[in-house]
Amino acid sequence: MSSADSKHAFALTLKRWFNSNGWPQKITDDFAKDEGILAPNGPWASQICSALKADFHPRVEFFIALARFNQFVADQDLRSIQGSKLRDRLKEAKPLVDDAGNLYGATEFFALFAGLMQPPRRFAASGAPTQEELDALVQKNQSKFREWALSEMMSRSEAWEILKTQLNKDDRVEPEHLPVIQEKLAGLARLTPGDIPKDWWPDCPVSQALERLSA
């Protein structure tokens, strides 16, 4: 595997891991800056952003920091977290593990970045998402939608109109997509791999719009 290929594999694995947990890109930055954590080496949002673009030349501290975050997710001891939104995002989240269920540490994150090991099969570059991945994505988007509407004291119809405005700003979203998105968010139909445009995975425009609105 070439250096470029391994960086893309690393980026895709991070994207799919984050998406599987419904996390924004800045989740590790929020973690590092939380008053109960104050991690000196991040991982910072700028590092994750570069990593997800496969344009990254990290120092060893990045992999150590990412491993610490992954261990924290695995342990699920959230008592030290001061931010309630961060705590909710980390609660019941899944750490990154290999195909045998072994937790990724600094060595594994570096090996994946350097092309010395393959990504977990569930996050590998296989094209379309699995039905299991889509079910999890829809469930998380539905939860985000309800929580955001409740926090703003809005009805579902009011929240949908605002979300629709955000979605219309995304070039990937066509007018005919909106009724389908509304139907899936309402739980009236199941989203299948055949329903989702190729450029909606793993970067789902609905997830991204909800993250912006609830930030």
Cα–Cα distance measured from residue 127 to residue 163, given in angstroms and rounded to the nearest whole number:
27
Exposed/middle/buried for residue 127 (C-beta within 10 Å: 0-12, 13-18, 19+): exposed
Cα–Cα distance measured from residue 146 to residue 186, given in angstroms and rounded to the nearest whole number:
10
The answer, yes or no, to whether residue 127 has pLDDT greater than 80, is no
φ, ψ (nearest 5 deg) of residue 97: -130, 160
Instruction: Give residues with Cβ within 8 angstroms of 157, minimum separation 6.
Output: none
What 8-state DSSP symbol labels residue 5? H
The token pair at 74 is: 């695995």
Q: Give pTM, 2 decimals.
A: 0.66
What pLDDT, in 10s, does the model give residues 158-189? 999 999 999 999 988 999 999 999 999 999 99
What pLDDT, in 10s, does the model give residues 34-63? 999 999 999 999 999 999 888 888 999 999
Residue spans of the domains in the chain: they are: 3-123, 131-214
- pLDDT (mean) for 106-131: 86
- pLDDT (mean) for 19-39: 91
Cα–Cα distance measured from residue 164 to residue 170, given in angstroms and rounded to the nearest whole number:
10
Q: What is the pLDDT of residue 129?
A: 78
